[in-house]
Structure formats: structure tokens, C-alpha cells
Structure 1
Amino acid sequence: MTSAGARRTFILRALAVVLFAALVVFGPLAENTADEKVFAATAILLSLLFVLMASARIAFALIAVSLLFGAIEIAGRLKFLYLQTPLLAPDLEYFLNSGTLEVFSHYPLLLGVGIGALVLIPLLLVLSWRGERAALLPQRPRWVRFGVRLGGALVAAWGLTWILTANGPYGGVFNKPMWITINDKSFITDFLTSFNDTVITEPVIPADVDRSISWKLDRPMQAPAQRPDVVMVLEESTFDPRILKLCTIKQCRAAMFDADKQTRAHGLMTVHTFGGGTWTSEFSALTGLAHTLFGNAGLYAPYNLAPRVAYTLPRAFQHAGYRAIALYPMSGDFLNARNAYDFYGFDAFYDGTEHGLGWESHDADLLEVFKRIHADEKRDHPDQPLFVFMLTLHQHGPHMTPLDKLPPPFDKPLFPGKFKPKALDDWLNLNLGNYLQRLAESDAMMSQLQSYLFDGKAPAVLVHFGDHQPSFDGAINEIPKVVPKLAGPVAHWVTYYMIKSNFPVRAHYDYPLLDIAFLGSLALDVAGVPKDAFYQANTLLRERCNGRYLDCKNRKMVASYHDYIFSTLGDLHESQ
């Protein structure tokens, strides 16, 4: 090799080492836990070994691996910056399409990084390949070099396969609760492990399942003369605080939890998440299914399950002549919401950021946007009833605004001296004070929404429910709760539901404890909307199990139901 060639090789390898060092510092060393740091580092080193054995080029291997994992790290950081979620494996399906350029065009930094990556990555790979000769065991016979490279590549590939399985040596970094995954900023670990969570586990139907049970509803619906508008509101992090033993003061009472003359069904409800995971409650309310049916992949319902579910609540309303619209309180890019709502079957999706909503918006802000959209929809579609699904956001954690910043009477501890150990007093008073102050705002908004819908002559149904309890960083579990025995050991899964109408119905549908999977069929009952095959079966299971679902005492009934909806109706089809 000439001196010029040697100098070029030295510079190229020096650049490669710098890039790799930067990857290590900003990649593995920046991961959240020690296990994740070691996992990410191991994945990188094994990848380096594989590329080195395959190419026999030191600089090329260092640069290629640095670019690959650097791209994962940078994409994760940018996605978290703009969308509050890291890059996950399911994102590849939705970001590698023609819509990506349109999204990037709204964000100059993303557009610049994207164009730079498209130009620089291929250029660096070509230059590093052509700027260095194969230099692995150059003095050895060809067959020795081939054997060493093949053996090394196979060992590296086997090692990568081993560590990237949930049953491998790094099993502890897999199957994290999704709320932790999207917040812990372990961008390399979260991306690599999320491939494991794309595999949906379908419910197993026992061999002795009873197929003689009928799941067809043969009674007529009690429909009103005019089809009512139906508005369903998912109340973020909301539960009736009176289930807390200590919550007996007047600030714990809110009219939104109590029945009035227009109430048709109400009570406590169980969901399948706690402290976060709103999108799983959203999934259950809109599909009548529990995300826990499908293994850990169910945590990614907006990505993995939404494209595969055949029967949904919006489609049931559409079949009855309704127009289904969704009002999302933040960007539709968050957790794939825009795509998921399209798969759920909504006719229109209103992005909150395009209407002035965001993380700091209050429930009153959402109500004003809803009124404008509702008026526009009724003007543009005067002969079509509406099904509207919308979400509040203000009750989302953290609940840590200093008490002296809150309006009276929430500007001081409401529960002094109630907790043991003493160290929890200030923390729980802070969180509960924030929660109850925001609840007062939610209560006022719900009253105004009810008046807006019910005071006119047009028939309307209002449904609102809590998606999960707030965690208060786990401290809420220090407070004893009073819930029905039916809830079993999962008192932290209990929220509430309320269904009202401004027209009479012949039946009331209260249950001691209702599973969220039955909320949709209950809303259809009150609205008098004809049901498709799925919601007929959903109604019958609700009645036969008295509002319980996966914890129904009649396990054979649930097995028969699952056999019917999945095997006969084909409710879960292959992704398109």
C-alpha cells in the first residue's frame, strides 16, 4: 500500500472510531437502566462482529453499525421530541410510505435530517467500502480467511438472534409496560425489543367448546322515532374518588358520577389498565375487546390490533345510517392515532392541534372545539345522525401543580393527617388536590355538554367514562378503596361509566360492575340502534355474565363467545 493509501486508510478508520465512540456515548450509555445499557451494547457489538466478518473491512464495519444504530437513536429522539413516543418496530409500517414526506414537510428539522440521511448514509457507506481494502487475516490462505469469516458471521448472527428473544439472556428488558416503554428514553432497547411485541397471540379455543349456544339476538330494539346523536367522551385518568375510603368531603362529590332523571345506565366499570395506557381503554370501548386477550402485543393496539379488527362501534353506527367522527385532543400522530381511528372506521378525524388543542388544554377548551365541529357537521350533514367519540386530556398526570397555585378550596391540603407513614401526607395531598381540582373542571364541562345536547328538541345520548385511575406515581395504592367484591384483587382497575338520554327508554341497564368491553353495546341499547352480529353476541354475553367479561364465572360461556366472534364471525382478520 502506498503512503497516500495508508494515510487515507488511517483517516477513514479514525473517522470510523469517532463515529462508533459517539454511538456508544449517545446510545448504550444513555439508556435508562444498567440492563438496557448492557443489552444495547451487546446488540451493537454483535452487529459489528457480523458486518466485520461479512465485509472484512474494519472502517466499513464501524461506520455501517454506527450509522444503523445511530439512525435508530436519532429517529427515536426526534420522534420523542415531536410526538412524545420513541421509535418502535410497528412504526416502520406507517412511516415507510408516501405520507412520510408530507409529515416531514411540516417540520423543517425533520425534513433536513431526513434529506441528510438519504444523502449521507449511502455516501459514507460507499466511501468507506471503496476507501479500504479487505484487511482481515490478509496473510492467511483464502480458505482460512473464508472459514474464519463464515464462522464469525454465523456466531454473531446466532448471538444476535439469541439476545433479541424474550427468552434469551436479556429477558428482563422485554415486555415492559408500554407506558414505561414510551417514557423511559431507552431508544435502542425500546426499538429492538418492540419487534417481540408485534406478535399477536390469539385466544385459544378449547377443544370441548360448546357451539350449541346461540349468539344471535332475536328481540326487537326499542328505537326512538328519530335516531339520536350519540356523543361518547373518554375522560382521561378519571374515577369516582368516593371509592377512596378517606374521600368523604364535599370536594369528592361530582354530579357527573350521580344519576339524575335522564340517566339510563351508570355505575362502576372495570378497565384493563392502570396509571396509563389510555389507548387500550380506547381500543376496548371502540371494539368490545380486551387488549389483554392478545398477549403483550395488545399494548400496541393502535398499531397491531386496530388494522385487524373487523367489527367496531363506529361501523355498527355507520350500518345504522350514522356518520362517525372522532375529536382527538392532541396531534393525530401521537401513538398512531390517526391511522388507528381510520382502521376503527371513523368517517372523519379531527386533529386537536389543528383546532388549538394540546397538552395544556382544559376540558372547557375541548367543549368549545366540539361545539364548533358539531355545528359544522350538522350543517354539512343535516339528515344524518352523528356518533361522536372524543377524549379529554387535562386530567392526565402529573398531578403536581403546587397547591398554592390552585384556586380555593384546593389551594391547601384537603386531607391533613390522614395518611401513614407521615411522609406520604404532603405527596398525596398534592396529587389528590390536583386531581379533585381538575375533576371540578370536568364536572362543570360535562354539565355544560349535557345541556348543549339535551336542551334542544333533537334526541341525544351522552356517554362518558373513565379510562383508568391515575397512579400518583404509585402512591394512590396507599389509600384503601371500597369497590364491589366482583372487582377481586384489581381495585386499581375500577373507574366509572355514565349513559344518559333526553328521551325515555323502557329499560335501565345498571350492573354491579361493568366491563368496559360492554360499554359499546350498552350505548347501542340506549340509543335504540340496530346491532350487527358482533354486538348482538356482545350484548348476550353481557347479560349472561351480568356485566363481567374475562372474569365471568361461566368460563364455558366465555369460550363459546370467543369461538363465535373469532372463528365464526372472523373478528380478527389478517392485517391488510
Structure 2
Amino acid sequence: MKSILGRGVAWLAHPVIAAPIFVGALLALHHFDTRWAFVPFLVTIMAALTSVLFLLSRRLVFSAYVAVTIVVLIGAMSEAKFQLKGFSLHVFDLAFTGLDASALQFLAGSYFHLLAAGLAALAAVSVFFVILFKGDRVIRSPWWLKTGVTGAAVGAAIIAYPHRPGEPSYTHYISGYNASSFFVSLGDLHLPFGQITLVDVVEAAPAKGRMTNDVACGDMTARPDVFFVLSESHTDPANFPQVAIPDATSKVFQSDDGKVHPMYVETFGGGTWVTNFSVMTGLSGSDFGWQSPYVTQMMESRVRASFPELLARCGYRTVAIMPMDFSFVNEGAFLKSLGFLDVIDYQAMAPKDHFVRDRFYFDVAEKLIREHRRTDSRPLFLALQTMFPHGPYDRSLVDEAELPPEPRYAADAEANEYLRRIAVSKRDFQAFLKEREAVPGGSGSVVLEYGDHQATATKSYLPQGENGLNIFADLHSLAYRTYFSVHGYGRTIDMKPLSLPMDVGFLSASLIEAAGLPTSPMFRSLAELRDACGGRYHECRDRDKVDAHLKQRSDAGLLRLY
């Protein structure tokens, strides 16, 4: 038996066999990382892993094959995460996502076929490596030699990383460099766990002016009900000339002025909570660098003077409806810390699954609105998240009685399914608007709807970056362009503050101006920053103004980063 295993190992070690396998691994890594510049770095990573494994096992062929497999598998896992959340794999995922039971349950339920295939492949690979370990011969060499080779390989990996001076830390993770992201993220382990990266920016900013935590509630007898609708995975289909969408659906993207207003978010394909974070807090997720996907965990109870807190201080009842579990990415607890008095989650609503039509959530909202207006004299702020257009798109969720399969909206099957879900979702939203028009409430109603990120289903329709640049590295590329719409019922909306294409962090401050809602020094400062920066937040051309604003919030105790 040993002789058979030995011959098998020798066969795997032969250059005729090993060379094509290695080349195939490099091609896979290039596919996951998109740029050849990172492949030499990944080769040194494989060499470092091989040397570490050899140091422990004293089996060279086994160590080399395991190292190559680990790097390729990590690249595949990062690719999967990037497709789902728009952010590549980071070492801190082991603590944040890896310990989030509700997130893991959702991913397992939504992508069970991928999970099953991955586990089956992992089991087969594990069996193969057990056999390879037993068949490989032990090579004895001095410990100092093996240790020196390991140190040299690790040093080579550090040197080989193609770092670009001045490149923001988040760029690597939003650019789709999926094979290398996990290994690059190991450099973040020097930070104490939980330290906010934005601290350095705020500390370096000069103190300019003073901010207080006052509120200006306005006429307490004329406060409208306020409704935020976060439209999951929505974007304006007009951005993609490759698809067709009925005029009736396109019109639902428009505000009261008959225009579609563009907005730029900071995540693609997933990471809804990052967009919601910016809307509610008036902060940029990208300002947190590689910590952007974890802001709901890291910033709980660290943000004051948020939009829900502002309205709560002015006598509003504040309620959030979220289609996920309260514990999902810690969003429920985070929203409570911002000033939401009630958070109604997946468990409380008990839908049949996560992919019910949006009208399910609107029906929950309608019941709450009727009951509130019957029993409570306070104005209502209700923030509702939808879910129906969320991926995956490999199965049809649209009832053909509701929407016939023809005509097709897109040639690509997944894009077509996505757009069909969008069409149905817009019908449900339109029904919600008709209810607000029919019963606006004593002081009227204001409805803000916004798309939180684009879907992976239309990724192939995005143009390539200019001059070879990755489109995901540009926060103002089409990949991050969504929209918002504003509607007033029994309430006049001044669309001027909303006319500028803006980053998501300015949305609430702009609505406050447009609808005459309660305000505060913090939101007035945000509106001034929006105008000074031409609607750009993280990438403001006069970045000192952004840093000064953050410094003021920190000094006033409204942004706790320590």
C-alpha cells in the first residue's frame, strides 16, 4: 500500500503533472484578483505557506499542494463574499460574520446549493490530503534551515505586495481583488480589536468651530409623519441601455417633480446595512476604511444626534421594520442605539421565508400606521426595509399571474429575473404611496424611498473602468449609482436641496431642508458640507471640510470613536 501511495506522490511531484496544476492555480487566482500585479504576491504567499507547513509536517509535496489549495480556496470564498456583499474577505470576518448566527443562517438558506457543493468539494479535498500526507516521504533537514526559509518566504510576501502609496485602505476590498484581500487584511491585526480607524483622521483634523446637541423642532402642531423606504437592491434600470423596462415601472423611480434623482452609495451587490448606516447617521461608510462592512457592530452606541434620535427628541414615535433577524450583523441593536424606540424584525413578522413580496412588509406597515393613528397622538417616523429583489436570481419568484413571462426585460436570465422582481416591487411601493395619498394624516406625510445598492445580476452591464482602472475602485462610477425619490402628501416639498446628485450620507440632511422637518446644528452642518463638496462626502475635493465636520461631532460628544 505504501508503495502505491509513494508512486502516486511521485507522480504528483513530477514537473509534467505539477506544472500544469500550478499554472491552472495561477490562472484561477488571476480570475479572482482581476490583476496580474497581485499574482507574484500570491506566489510568495503560497511559498510562505508551503514553508510553514513543511516546518510542521516535514513533507514537501504535501505542503506545496495544501498551500496552493488554501490560497485558491480563500480566493473562491472571497469571490463569493464579494458577489454577496460587495466587499472582499477580511480576516476580521472570522469574528464578525463568522460568529453571526443569523447571517450564517440566511446565507446557508439562500445559497444552500453553493454551500452544499462547497462542503462536498472540501470533504473530497480533505480526503485527498490525508492520503497525500500518508504517502509523502519525510524529509529531514536542520530546524534552522527550515526556519530561515520560512522567514525569508514571509519577508518576500511582504515585499511583493504591490502597494500604491496614498491608496485608501478600503480600496483593496471594494475593487474585487479577491484572491489577495484576506492576506492583505492580516496587516490590520496590528490594531487593537475594536479600535475605530477613523480616529486618526479626526485626531489630525484642526478644530474649527463648535457644535452643540440642540434641536429645533419647529411648529410642534404641524409635524408630518415621515416614512423611509429602503428598496433592497434597487437601482434605476435607465442606467443600463441593455435592458428594457415598462414606462409604468420607470415612473415609480421618479419624485414629485417628475425626475429620477441619482444618489451614490458605498457598497455593491450587498451590504445593505452600510447604506442604512449612512442614511441614519449622516456618516460615510468609506470613511471607516476596511471597517466599513462592520460599522453596525463597531459603532453601536457611539453615534448621537442621528436622524431617528432627532425626531424622537421632537416627540416622534420612531419604528424600524427590518426583514432580517434583530441580531443580523447587529443591525437591530445598532438601530435601537440610534434612537428607534421599536424594531420589528423577521421573527416578529414571521413571513414564510425571506423572499416574500414587498407587499408583506408594506401590509405590516399599514397595520402599524392605522393602529398608531388610532391610539397615539405623536407623529410617526417609520423606516421600512424591503427584500424581494435580493439575490440569488437562479429561481423565479414572480407569479406569472401577476407578471407574464413575456416580454423579457433582459437577455440574461438572472438579470431578467431581477428586473421582474423590481417591476413587482415597484407595484407594491406604488400601492403604499396611494395609501399615503388617500390618508396623509393630520399634518401630512413625507415619503423618502432610496435604493441601497445595485444587484450582482446587472454587474455584466457595467462599463469597464477607464485606463484599465477597476470600476469598483471609483465611488462615483456607475457601479455605485442608485437613486432616491421624495413624495409629499398634504405637505409641500422644496426640491431644490435635493437637486444635486449626492452621496448617501447627505440624504437625511437634504430631506430635512426639503420637507421642513425638525433639524439640529449637526444636520445644518451636513447640508453646508454637501454644498461645499458638490454632493461628495468621502471623496470631497476639499477633504479638510469633511474632517473638520467630523472633528466637531467628535468634540461635541456626538461621535464617540474611542
Normalised by the length of structure 2, the TM-score is: 0.64
1:388 aligned to 2:392? no
The runs of 5 or more residues in structure 1 that have no matched partner are 138-144, 414-425, 479-488
CA distance in 2: counterparts of 1:101 and 1:520, whole angstroms: 28
Which residue pairs with 2:549 in the alignment? 561
Q: Is the 8 A contact 1:283 1:302 kept in 2?
A: no
Q: Is the 8 A contact 1:288 1:520 kept in 2?
A: yes
CA distance in 1: counterparts of 2:526 and 2:328, whole angstroms: 25
Residue 12 to residue 341, structure 1, CA distance change in 2 (3 Å): farther
Matches within 5 A, 1:320-359: 322-328=317-323, 338-340=329-331, 342-345=333-336, 347-350=343-346, 355-358=352-355
Deviates more, 1:439-448 or 1:450-459: 439-448
Matches within 5 A, 1:156-555: 156-163=153-160, 166=163, 175-176=171-172, 178=174, 180=176, 188-195=179-186, 200=197, 204=201, 209=206, 211-212=208-209, 214=211, 219-224=216-221, 228=225, 230-234=227-231, 236-239=233-236, 241=238, 254=251, 256-259=253-256, 268-272=261-265, 279=272, 281-295=275-289, 297=290, 301-304=292-295, 307-308=298-299, 310-311=302-303, 312-314=306-308, 316=310, 322-328=317-323, 338-340=329-331, 342-345=333-336, 347-350=343-346, 355-358=352-355, 365-372=357-364, 374-375=366-367, 383=376, 385-391=380-386, 394=389, 411=407, 444-456=427-439, 458=441, 460-467=445-452, 473-474=461-462, 496-504=483-491, 510-513=497-500, 515=502, 516-523=504-511, 534-535=522-523, 537-539=525-527, 541=529, 549=537
Which residue pairs with 2:194 in the alignment? none
Residue 102 to residue 273, structure 1, CA distance change in 2 (3 Å): closer
CA distance in 2: counterparts of 1:558 and 1:101, whole angstroms: 33
Q: Is the 8 A contact 1:59 1:132 kept in 2?
A: yes
Q: Is the 8 A contact 2:224 2:491 kept in 1?
A: no
Q: Is the 8 A contact 1:326 1:388 kept in 2?
A: yes
CA distance in 2: counterparts of 1:113 and 1:445, whole angstroms: 36
What one-letter code is carried by the residue in structure 2 that aligns with 1:271?
Y
Which residue pairs with 1:421 in the alignment? none
Q: Is the 8 A contact 1:545 1:552 kept in 2?
A: yes
Residue 505 to residue 109, structure 1, CA distance change in 2 (3 Å): closer
Q: CA deviation at 1:451?
A: 1.5
Q: Is the 8 A contact 2:285 2:292 kept in 1?
A: yes
CA distance in 2: counterparts of 1:227 and 1:350, whole angstroms: 28
Q: Is the 8 A contact 1:231 1:387 kept in 2?
A: yes
Q: CA deviation at 1:535?
A: 4.0
Q: CA deviation at 1:517?
A: 1.7
Q: Is the 8 A contact 1:242 1:252 kept in 2?
A: no
1:150 aligned to 2:147? yes
Indicate which of 35, 51, 54 corresponds to 2:53. 51
Q: CA deviation at 1:259?
A: 2.0
Residue 448 to residue 192, structure 1, CA distance change in 2 (3 Å): same
Question: Which whole-Å deviations, capped at 9, do the CAs of 1:354-412 have from their partners, x for residues lacking one?
Answer: 54454xx7xxx2124421365268769965845223246649999xx9xxx9999x959
CA distance in 1: counterparts of 2:103 and 2:202, whole angstroms: 44
Q: CA deviation at 1:288?
A: 1.3
The runs of 5 or more residues in structure 2 that have no matched partner are 192-196, 467-475
Q: Choose 1 or 2 for highest CA Rg.
A: 1
Q: CA deviation at 1:233?
A: 3.0
Q: Is the 8 A contact 1:24 1:41 kept in 2?
A: no
Residue 277 to residue 111, structure 1, CA distance change in 2 (3 Å): closer
Q: Is the 8 A contact 1:313 1:520 kept in 2?
A: yes
What one-letter code is carried by the residue in structure 1 that aligns with 2:287?
L
CA distance in 1: counterparts of 2:131 and 2:370, whole angstroms: 58
Q: Is the 8 A contact 2:452 2:482 kept in 1?
A: yes
Q: Is the 8 A contact 2:85 2:269 kept in 1?
A: no
CA distance in 1: counterparts of 2:214 and 2:551, whole angstroms: 17
RMSD of aligned Cα (Å): 6.2
| 2:385 counterpart SS class | strand
Question: Which whole-Å deviations, capped at 9, do the CAs of 1:37-60 have from their partners, x for residues lacking one?
Answer: 654443222211233245544467
Normalised by the length of structure 1, the TM-score is: 0.62
Q: CA deviation at 1:155?
A: 0.8
Deviates more, 1:466-475 or 1:495-504: 466-475
Q: CA deviation at 1:450?
A: 0.8
CA distance in 1: counterparts of 2:423 and 2:160, whole angstroms: 50
Q: CA deviation at 1:521?
A: 3.1
Q: Is the 8 A contact 1:273 1:493 kept in 2?
A: yes
CA distance in 2: counterparts of 1:100 and 1:447, whole angstroms: 31
Question: Which whole-Å deviations, capped at 9, do the CAs of 1:43-83 have from their partners, x for residues lacking one?
Answer: 22221123324554446745764785576468668879999
What one-letter code is carried by the residue in structure 2 that aligns with 1:372?
V
Matches within 5 A, 1:58-77: 58=60, 61-62=63-64, 65=67, 69=71, 72=74
Amino-acid identity (%) = 16
CA distance in 2: counterparts of 1:58 and 1:394, whole angstroms: 49
Residue 307 to residue 11, structure 1, CA distance change in 2 (3 Å): farther
Q: CA deviation at 1:564?
A: 0.8
Question: Which whole-Å deviations, capped at 9, do the CAs of 1:226-269 have from their partners, x for residues lacking one?
Answer: 7725232336443495999xx9x977972652427xx9xx8734
| 2:180 counterpart SS class | helix
| 1:49 counterpart SS class | helix
Deviates more, 1:382-391 or 1:282-291: 382-391
CA distance in 2: counterparts of 1:572 and 1:523, whole angstroms: 25
Which residue pairs with 2:28 in the alignment? 30
Which residue pairs with 1:140 in the alignment? none
Q: Is the 8 A contact 1:272 1:281 kept in 2?
A: yes
